[in-house]
């Protein structure tokens, strides 16, 4: 059972535009929601994460918006740059050990110059 559904599968954005990737989860016990960025040939890297006690978290051009009642969260990349072109994964976890991170399917983002 896929517990974290991610959309879209691929996204093309012009330089300077806003990239938005959405995730929805089912398990209300999830309490940690990270986003990972993966470049070709590299391992994923933690980009930004949020806990459900806040509705938004911003780090530079990256923002997570969290809607607990809808069981949805999204990643917004402002002023998207060609260097942001990568695959982005949302994930969800219960507790702080990170033991059972459930990943979304991934979104391949292409930012055209």
Partner 1 sequence: DAGVIQSPRHEVTEMGQEVTLRCKPISGHDYLFWYRQTMMRGLELLIYFNNNVPIDDSGMPEDRFSAKMPNASFSTLKIQPSEPRDSAVYFCASSSGPPRFFGPGTRLTVL
x/- letters, 22..61, toward partner 1 (CB under 8 A):
----------x-x------xxxxxx--x------------
Cβ proximity to partner 1, 20 vs 49, nearer residue: 49
Question: Using CB atoms within 10 A of its CB, is residue 11 exposed (0-12), middle (13-18) or buried (19+)?
Answer: middle
Query: Which strand (E) or helix (H) includes residue 74?
Result: strand 72-77
Q: How far is the CB of 53 from partner 1 (least distance, A)?
A: 16
CB 48 within 8 A of CB 88: no
Token code pair at residue 37: 């960025």
Is residue 73 close enough to count as binding partner 1 by CB under 8 A? Answer: no
Q: How far is the CB of 44 from partner 1 (least distance, A)?
A: 5
3 state SS of 97: coil
Of the candidates 30, 35, 88, 89, which one interacts with partner 1 according to CB under 8 A? 89
Retrieve residue 95's tokens. 């507790």
CB 51 within 8 A of CB 82: no
**Which listed range, 7-15, 20-28, 65-73, 93-101, lies at the site for partner 1 (CB under 8 A)?**
93-101
- Between 8 and 16, whose beta carbon lies closer to partner 1? 8
Could you give phi then psi for residue 9, rounded to 5 degrees? -75, -35
Binding residues for partner 1, rule: CB under 8 A, are 32, 34, 41-46, 49, 89, 93, 96-101, 103-106
């Amino acid at each position: 059972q896929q517990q974290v559904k991610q959309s879209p599968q691929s996204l093309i954005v012009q330089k300077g535009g806003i990239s938005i990737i959405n995730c929805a989860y089912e398990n209300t016990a999830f309490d940690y929601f990270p986003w990972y960025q993966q470049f070709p040939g590299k391992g994923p890297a933690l980009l930004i994460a949020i806990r459900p006690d806040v509705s938004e978290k911003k780090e530079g051009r990256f923002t997570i918006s969290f809607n607990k009642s809808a069981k949805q969260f999204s990643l917004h990349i402002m002023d998207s740059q060609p260097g942001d072109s990568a695959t982005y994964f949302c994930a969800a976890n219960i507790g702080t050990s990170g033991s059972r991170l459930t990943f979304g399917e991934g979104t391949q983002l292409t930012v055209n110059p």
